[in-house]
Amino acid sequence: MGLLEHRVAIVTGASAGIGEALTHDLAKQGARLVINARRESKLQDIASAYPEGQVSVLAGDAGDPDLSVRLLDHALATFGQEADLVVVNAGRGLRGSVTDSNTEEWEEVVRTNILGASHLMRETANRMAKQLPDPASEPDAFAAQWKKIVETGGPSRDIVVLGSTVGRHISPFSSMYGSTKFAVNSLAEALRRQMAKHGVRVTLIEPGIVRTEFQESAGYEMEGFGAFMDTISPVLTAEDISRSIMFAVTQPPAVHVNDVMIRPTRQEYP
């Protein structure tokens, strides 16, 4: 029996890289999933690897303010239960600093990485808080249900947010992208503090350099960046990050791995 058979997950940015690897790991552990990204055909290919009905596709732009509601409603309508594991992963990089990055891309980066992530964190947190009685106004009812969850091993409620090492350590070379991850890192930690009393885990994952489609879509000059990656090789794979996320979300409900920073062993900085 899979570790996640009773859980319903949503993964954004699931058509490639970390989101794709995580979709496979979650599905192999029996989770039912709604997967999202803009490229619907890639999502359909991924879903088709699993039994009919286990992985449902909802394509759309993560920067669309309505998407978070649609994703959560879709999970409930498809699986008859609210999502209890939501992975806020869709995002993109941007080559360059405040002085030399392409200003025409600023809006999309901010819209996807900060606003899209914030909408999904907000909607998910509000719904997850309502899945148990309010600990402030109904402390006894909350305590009874929380005790049962702890004793029976679930269900946990998880919001996993993809930040970055450049959301904690300033990198002047990718400062516009880094600034969006500083925002995401702080929003995730703030939400963790807010949701802890409800028994909801908000987990921040801060990867260093992971070889995915990210580098090309950020517009990195691949000859130079490839040479840099060679100096710290091997860099991380999407599967390495997925493994860390799986570790966090399969802990017992009363155990929370708050924050995982994961770099290639030979990456000093950022």
Ligand X SMILES: NC(=O)c1ccc[n+]([C@@H]2O[C@H](COP(=O)([O-])OP(=O)(O)OC[C@H]3O[C@@H](n4cnc5c(N)ncnc54)[C@H](OP(=O)(O)O)[C@@H]3O)[C@@H](O)[C@H]2O)c1
Residue 39 binds ligand X, judged by CB under 6 A: yes
Q: Which two structure tokens, joined as six digits, stand for 99?
A: 């002085």
Residue 112 binds ligand X, judged by CB under 6 A: yes
Residue 128 binds ligand X, judged by CB under 6 A: no
Minimum distance of ligand X from residue 174's CB (angstroms): 10
Stretches 38-46, 118-126, 135-143, 185-193: which one binds ligand X (CB under 6 A)? 38-46
Residue 47 binds ligand X, judged by CB under 6 A: no
Residue 209 binds ligand X, judged by CB under 6 A: yes
Q: Which of 62, 83, 114, 125 binds ligand X (CB under 6 A)?
A: 62
Q: Which of 237, 251 has the CB closer to ligand X?
A: 237
Residue 270 binds ligand X, judged by CB under 6 A: no
What Cα–Cα distance (Å) separates residue 52 from each residue in 10, 24, 49, 240? 17, 15, 9, 27
Residue 169 binds ligand X, judged by CB under 6 A: no
Q: Which of 89, 203 has the CB closer to ligand X?
A: 89
> How far is the C-alpha of 117 from the C-alpha of 114, rounded, in Å?
5
Minimum distance of ligand X from residue 215's CB (angstroms): 7
Residue 232 binds ligand X, judged by CB under 6 A: no
Q: Which of 19, 199 has the CB closer to ligand X?
A: 19
Residues at the interface with ligand X (CB under 6 A): 12-19, 37-39, 42, 61-63, 89-92, 112, 162, 164, 207, 209-210, 212-214, 217, 238
